[in-house]
Amino acid sequence: MSRAGYELPRSAFHLAVAALLLVGASGRAAGDAARGKELFANCAVCHGASGEGNEKLKAPAIAAMPQWYVEAQLQKFQTGARGAHPDDIEGLRMRPMSMTVKGEANISAVAAFVAALAPVRPAATLSGGDANIGKATYAVCAACHGPAGEGNPALKSPPLTQTQDWYLMAQLTKFKTGVRGTRPEDASGATMRPMALMLADEQAMKNVLAYVRTLAR
């Protein structure tokens, strides 16, 4: 009886500690989410309140982009691995904005908030692409970005189906011309650049993007 009487408070103590830890963790998570939302207010100016993007400002849709990808891009912009080329007009605009997110905790918080946004299915803006020809070309892209364009975090390859075609076209062009993916610190960009160079011309890019559009449906 005395043993049972001793164990009860001990169990209660463990329960209380567990409950406190749980409350603490959930409180922290709630704090991170609130912080993420707060930080996102700066992003929303260009990327839209729902992260839907704005072509006029050349700001792509970012809603539901994976947290690891948003974190990686913010870090690249901050270090100059991306957005520090004199001809990267949109990147140069994004770079100072990325610097308003100070510290890893804030980067994670805003990236988590972006990842939790409802995904968008942007309408096609490019015309003249042949999805059938693009399908064959996409076989190379699929090795990293996945057969359904779902992305692959292990290869640091983002999903392609949630982003506007005009943005993908602009990025392919930047990779091809060396505006993006030429900085030594940008390892994943350096991987992407030779892939973009395989697309011979604008028509080839339109074709593959037309096929990517079919994956988004």
Partner 1 sequence: MLTRYVEAASSYAQDIDGLITLITVLVGFWFLVAQAVLFGLIFRFRAKQGVKAQYISGEEKSQKRWVTIPHMLVLVCDVFIIVGAVRVWTDVKQTLPPADHTVRIVSQQWAWTFIQPGPDGKLDTEDDIKTIDELHVKEGATYHFQLLSRDVLHSFSVPAFRLKQDAVPGRLITGWFKPTRPGAYDIQCAEICGIGHGIMAARLFVETPEEHQKWMEKLSPVARAPTPQAEAEQENTPPAEGASAGAGAE
Chain residues that interact with partner 1, rule: CB under 8 A: 42, 45-46, 80, 84-86, 89, 92-93, 95-97, 99-100
Q: Which two tokens stand for residue 111?
A: 């990236």
Nearest-approach distance from CB 14 to partner 1, in angstroms = 50
Q: Minimum distance between the CB of residue 193 and partner 1, rounded to whole angstroms?
A: 18
Q: Which of 36, 50, 34, 58 is nearest to 173 (CA)?
A: 58
Comparing CB distances to partner 1, the nearer of 60 and 159 is: 60
User: Least separation, in Å, of the C-beta of 88 and partner 1?
Assistant: 9
Task: Measure the CA–CA gap between 84 and 128, rounded to whole angstroms.
Answer: 32
What contacts 57, CB < 8 A, 6 or more positions away? 46
3-state secondary structure of 138: helix
* Cα–Cα distance for residue pair 32/112, rounded to 1 Å: 9
CA-CA distance, 58 to 187, in Å (whole number)? Answer: 24
Closest to partner 1 by CB, 30 or 89? 89
Closer by beta carbon to partner 1, 66 or else 80: 80
CB of 97 to partner 1, least distance (A): 6
Q: Which is nearer to partner 1, 97 or 204 (CB)?
A: 97
CB of 64 or CB of 97, closer to partner 1: 97
Q: Write down the least CB distance from residue 86 to partner 1, Å.
A: 4
Q: What is the enclosing helix (H) or strand (E) of 216?
A: helix 202-216
